[in-house]
Structure 1
Amino acid sequence: MSKKATYLLGILATIIIGCFLYHRLCCMNCDRACCKKDVATVQDNLPPTSPFLLKGNGIDFTTQSNFNFLKNDFKKLLPVNDSINLGITSLKTLFDKGGNTLKITGFATKDEVNNSMFPNLGFARANDVKNYFVAQGISSAKIEINGEVKDDLSITNDTLFGPVAFTVLEQAAATATPAADWKALKEKINASPLTLYFNTGQTQIDLTAEDRQKVADMLHYIDHVENAKLDVVGYTDNVGNRETNIHLGQKRADFAKSYLVNNGIAAEKINSTSKGPDNPLMDNATKEGQAKNRRTVVKIN
């Protein structure tokens, strides 16, 4: 290689190295528009955040981490950031001192599919977060949940970042519900209980809007009334022998219980039993009557 070619290659190498060092050492710390464009591009690729806030009389906690969910799903993504646990610990300390309560509002977009038993996907998310608070030592009686449709949520690659909001209610707003109101709610639910018809072993139960509201009302009751539980009772028609029907009714009740648990209702708050062919709704002499008698009924104990 001639001296001239070597000289030209040296100049080219110097230019390349100089440009690289200029970008790394100068551009990253300057105010020039070209550099800002590079930084903005990096920031645009970061996932949006919706902070976890607990603010009220006696508590002021904020962390940029929050509960996140996959689109169309109501179960939070794990693991939960440790900073959230610090906030829950602070909330528990506050609750131990007085009568404050917490309202958790879950959100979902209108185009998401509600694959839960609850009135909407936001409600199901709020319940899942509530269960996490309960697992950290917060009483379910201290928590109210609600769900709303909200389309301006932070979504990246089918992940929703922080579709939950928290409101700490002061002691004056956290008045206890009178016992008579709880009694009236129980009577209302049990007068028209949740009745499920399904084939044993199926993975999904079709619910009407009225059925979903019944599930929400029952959850509200067992969350706030001490020792309250749900009774899930399986029934059959009278075809076949009684022992077989009792067993079949129990399988239906156990399936319904499992479905409730998968939707975020604590297993220890659900009893499942069978009455087989007893207490038929209709005459078993007809196919229609037999179909109506093959059911599972959910009431409050």
Structure 2
Amino acid sequence: MARVLVAGMINIETNLRIEGFPLGYHPVTYPFHGVTTNVSGAAWNVGKALSRLGHEVRFVSLVGDDDLARLARRDVRDAGIDDRFVLTVPGATAQSVILVDPDGRRQVHTDLKDLQEPTTVYPAAALTEAMDGCELAVIGNMNMCRNVLRRVRAQGIPTAVDVHVLHDLHDAYDREFLAGADTVMVSDEGLDGRDPHGYLRAIQDIYPATTAILGRGAAGATVRHRQGDDVEVHDVPAVAPRGVVNTVGAGDALLSGYVHAVLGGAAPREALVVATTFAGWKVGASGASSGLTDAAHLAELVASRS
């Protein structure tokens, strides 16, 4: 298996089961066993997933100097990942609250505290050590990741970036991340009625990514891969072997599964089958970093789709 650098957010996530969207006002509710708390964050979800799939993860992130940071560090160590690249900064650790309806649809409320300040930079010395020997980097789109992306690119390490919801293809905030990625991951929540294939083509017309992946929820996922003048586009349907409980973290699982498959030598379509299978199993649990299976079980699930 590969050594992979994963950089970005780790936070403390609380999931709340609700009756449905839109959420009506009630002064008090009692959703028994409907409130759960776990360690999450877009980057951590990927890092934990790749570790579960057997890869060596160098996890690069920032936490505050509070009790929640200790919970986050413990989860990193419990996943078999060294937490020495999770650095402490003054202030509070990021948190999120996820509202989840009976169909598994989610609404995410994320509080990044002071960790999203434009001046936040991950220290160069720690990053140099973290990058050593990495075959690939998966980088989030937090401000702290900007210098990480630049350094990783300078070292020639292939890079995957998830910009999540992208309405404007020329978005000023995400432009640097899009311009620096070999693989770009986006959600169909940014389509705004556009054709999925045309949307991915437009991204690759503007930016240099050789691979663009579109997470499409219940419709599955699409990958557009180019090599020189050759372009291939594949749509793969979604699966949910144990049903849908909570879709939070599905996109992170999709990217993790794709990266895992590509590191194992899979072609784009095969990799997307692996990715949708991994994400489909994951959504059978509540919590963005919960419900992750291992490589052996994933291979069995993929084989059962044939």
TM-score using structure 2 length: 0.22
Q: As a proportion of its length, which structure holds more helix?
A: 1
Of structures 1 and 2, the larger Rg is shown by 1
Q: Write 1 or 2 for the structure with the bigger share of strand.
A: 2
